[in-house]
Amino acid sequence: MPESKVQATVAKLFTDHRDRLQQYLRARLTNADDAAELAQEAYLRMLRVKRADLIRHPQAYLFRIANNLLHELYTGRGPASGESLELDLLETDEPSPEELAALAGRREMVRRAVGELPEKCQAALALHWQQGLTQAEIAERMNLSRQMVQKYLARGLAHCHKRLRHIAAEERRTR
């Protein structure tokens, strides 16, 4: 597929699904600006796909990229750990002190939320987030059924999401 056609396709995808993607990201982040930046980064990554013509479901692929960016953000890998998501001309290789403080705060909130979970739930999340294991691999390693691993991961993610929103709301009230 010619590069201009890829850009046109991604531009249309951007205009058609930007609001939904940002809404999806806002529901998982505490800051609307972060959601907008992650959405833009997802589109930029979509533009970098070498064989975009092989993507059967571009919208689903875009949301998968956004989900991967969220994973990178919360595990400390990827854009949030070493490069700014902002695309300004003054971009540097090093995060600013404010970005480092914000990242440290988010990591601490995640640690606290995960620490409130039962031990097996924590272990399943750690294997998934830190080692990138699939549900089947986690099930094998923990000697559990895949369905039980799904329950632990779903419970853990739901709890973390709920706690992070609650902690962020408390912090906004105290400022």
Within 10 Å of residue 129's Cβ, how many Cβ atoms? 19
For the domain spanning 99-174, the CATH number is: 1.10.10.10
Q: Provide the pLDDT for residue 152.
A: 92
**What is the domain partition of the chain in residue ranges?**
3-82, 99-174
Rounded to two decimals, what is the model's pTM?
Answer: 0.44
Identify the residue with better confidence: 123 or 26.
123
Q: Average pLDDT of the chain?
A: 78
Q: In whole angstroms, how far apart are CA 68 and each of 15, 24, 84, 92, 96?
A: 21, 13, 16, 23, 23
Q: Provide the pLDDT for residue 99.
A: 67
pLDDT greater than 70 at residue 6:
no
Q: Are 82 and 121 in contact (CB under 8 A)?
A: no
Q: Provide the pLDDT for residue 138.
A: 93
- Render pLDDT for 110-158 as a digit per residue (tens, 0 to 9): 888 888 999 999 999 889 888 888 899 999 999 999 999 999 999 988 8
Identify the residue with better confidence: 42 or 55.
42
pLDDT greater than 70 at residue 96:
no
Q: Provide the pLDDT for residue 123.
A: 92
Cα(88)–Cα(108) distance, integer angstroms: 28
Lowest mean pLDDT among 10-19, 55-64, 75-84, 96-105: 75-84
Cα(79)–Cα(72) distance, integer angstroms: 7
Q: Provide the pLDDT for residue 137.
A: 93
Within 10 Å of residue 141's Cβ, how many Cβ atoms? 14
- Render pLDDT for 31-47 as a digit per residue (tens, 0 to 9): 788 888 888 888 888 88
